Structure 1
Amino acid sequence: MLLSAREIRELADGAGLSPSKQRGQNFVVDPNTVRAIVERAGVEDGQVVLEVGPGLGSLTLGLLEAGADVVAIELDRGLAGLLPRTLASRGVGEDRLHLVHADALTVTELPQIPRARRAAADAPSADREREGRPTALVANLPYNVATPILLTMLERFASIERCLVMVQSEVVDRLIAQPGSRTYGAPSAKAAWYGDREWAGKISRRVFWPVPNVDSALVLLTRRQTPLGTETERRETFRVIDAAFAQRRKMLRAALAGWAGSSQRASGIIAAAGIDPTRRGETLTVHEFLAIARAVERGTDPETEPATDLEIDRGPGREAL
């Protein structure tokens, strides 16, 4: 059922398509690698899986072979038009796939898979709330936007419990980094908001077409059963994270001055959160960033002004991923 390297090239040639460097397209052309990824992701029969950037369909076919229903988001018009025909030629029914032709960063709603809705008709009420919706993200993410896509999917689609994505090895290092390490940064802290992350395997360059000039690896993220905080708290925490790492070598009281309105106010908020204002952002856990965000909500203000009157600078890019 899976595509061989020769078949992938023939499909692309027949459709007049070639991988786009601008969009970070590197297609997996080794069936054994595809099956290994699907197995590592723990895909189950009847599960709904979200795939971003299905490309020519190598991983899509692997997910379908494992019995999953797939919601696939594809930006490239040519690839989006070719994928259904490729799956049909492999005998895959159209009820197993729902293709969304869009930029993944702009998608705010995902379709329900009809087959999964029928299968879940007799499921417990808690499961029926998620019927037909993706519970896993499994994807070979475009290299140039991998981290924003991962964090955006986790933010917008609460039904996703588990992510296994292929990205550049250095991106995996950043996503799984712990406070105090050289690679710890805003992506590390933001990913930690959602759950546990772990390195899940190295991918050989030779299984891609075209062969990339960087190493690739898998990162596994398992979502927390209970969120760290509310959506409002998440947004404020991410603003604190962005501000702290925008000037990562500065002490928190200086790095957060713009976010809080002044260095003095930042010091008061940080201290109220039980954190030393002379620490640097690269040493804080996501729980400590959350504590700072909550200190603002509690109305902490060293200048005795009501917290609701604070003019907090949320200038351009403060919530950039």
Structure 2
Amino acid sequence: MDPASPRVVRALLEQHQFRIKKKFGQNFLVDGNIINKILNAAELSNMDVVVEIGPGVGALTYRLAQKARRVVAVEIDRTVFPLLAETLDGLDNITLVEADALKTDFDRLVRERAGAPANGYKVVANLPYYITTPLIMHLLEGHLGARKIIVMVQEEVARRLIASPGAKDYGALTVAANYYAVVELAFKVPRTVFLPRPEVDSAVISMTVRKSPAVCVKNEQVYFALVRAAFQQRRKTLLNALGNLNKEFSRDKWLNILRQAEIDPVRRGETLNLREFARLADVYDQCR
């Protein structure tokens, strides 16, 4: 049985009378060439522990298990487990876990199900579109055991993750992801390799988690609050956009903060790089 074959997957779904659930963003990957490219991007060895989110019918899971020491697959939909029992039959290095990925402590999960790998673990996932952004941030924030994250996302989200300052796709997600990881586009994926076919194309993003953040800031909470404020009204100048961050600060005080940070007050937030946001956040934090 080849779980990457469209014919096999259709027969499996019919056999189990399985109904695709849009609420879980179920678009099953059915292309062996794309799976090979994902495996190459993940750079797996037989010493690796891999966390897969949303195994679906197991096409990627099957190949991950052939490459890695152990695969821990997290699936929210219990009804796919009988299908996975068939497609993954004979593989003893896979642990299936029924859980909501957004509520899962992946560091703890890996410790409990695979021991504590000395070199950390890798995350590989075909992310459901409806939770892509929150799940990426959940993976990056506080889960220091993950050293590499390979995710399939909507092409639109991929553009946002790799955008440069000043680009129309550059935003708070760009800043946050690149703060925690080195983010690269691995390759694009056409919508035709999924069953059922989604309405948009996808892309695979490679994120190598940094040992320390890209920039040093005195207060991360302040840093990200300032970033969000700068992009909430992205067409406004920083002087006007940041007023909502602290209503007690006068326009003149914000003007002084921007000047201390050596940032032109008429610039827009979408033009600042991570280092400039860090500089501005530290000055603002001192003046609070």
* TM-score of the aligned structures, taking structure 2 as reference length: 0.88
Deviation at 1:103, TM superposition (A): 2.0
Shift of 1:32: 2.7
Matching residue of 1:85: 85
Any idea what the Cα deviations from partners look like across 1:110-159, whole Å, max 9, x if unmatched?
32367853xxxxxxxxxxxx527852221111112212211210113111
Partner of 1:131: 117
Let me know the Cα RMSD of the aligned residues: 2.4
Q: Which residue of 2 aligns with 1:245?
A: 231
Paired residue for 1:104, among 101, 104, 117? 101
Please name the residue that 2:279 is paired with.
291
* Distance across 2 between alignment mates of 1:273 and 1:62: 50
How far, CA to CA, are the matches of 2:128 and 2:217 in structure 1? 27
| 1:274 and 2:272 correspond | no
Listed one character per residue, the Cα deviations across residues 265-289 of structure 1 (whole Å, up to 9, x for unaligned) are 4333333333222211000112222
- Deviation of 1:82 after TM superposition, in Å, equals 2.9
1:152 aligned to which of 124, 138, 146: 138
Match of 1:198 in 2: 184
Contact 1:248 1:281 in 2 (8 A): yes
Give deviations 1:85-121, integer Å, cap 9, x for gaps.
23552x011xx2333322222223432367853xxxx
Equivalences for residues 23-62 of structure 1 within 5 A: 23-62=24-63
Query: What letter is aligned with 2:95?
Result: H
Closer, same or farther in 2 for the Cα pair 1:115/1:226, shift >3 Å? same
CA contact (8 A) 1:71 1:134 kept: no
Provide the identity percentage: 38
* Contiguous gaps of at least 5 residues in structure 2: none
Where do 5+ consecutive residues of structure 1 fail to align?
118-129, 301-306, 308-321
The alignment status of 1:172 with 2:140, answered yes or no, reads no
How many angstroms apart in 2 are the aligned matches of 1:230 and 1:107?
A: 28
Equivalent residues of 1:194, 1:223 under 8 A apart = yes
Counterparts of 1:231 and 1:179, CA distance in 2: 19
Q: 2:244 aligns with which of 258, 272, 292?
A: 258
For residues 114 and 99 of structure 2, the distance between their equivalents in structure 1, rounded to whole angstroms, comes to 23
* Alpha-carbon distance between aligned partners in 2 of 1:86 and 1:23, rounded to the nearest angstrom: 21
Distance apart, 1:84 and its partner CA: 5.3
TM-superposed CA distance for 1:42, in Å, is 0.7
Secondary structure of 2:63's partner?
Answer: helix
Deviation at 1:17, TM superposition (A): 2.0
Q: CA 1:14/1:247 → structure 2, altered by over 3 Å: closer, same or farther?
A: same
Residues 190, 202 of structure 2: 8 Å contact kept: yes
Relative distance call for 1:87 and 1:47 in structure 2 (3 A) is farther
Instruction: Tell me the SS of whatever aligns to 1:85.
Output: helix
Distance in 2 (CA, whole Å) between partners of 1:84 and 1:114 is 22
How many pairs align? 284
Local SS of the residue matching 2:245: helix
Match for 2:44: what amino acid? V
Q: Distance in 2 between matches of 1:295 and 1:83?
A: 55
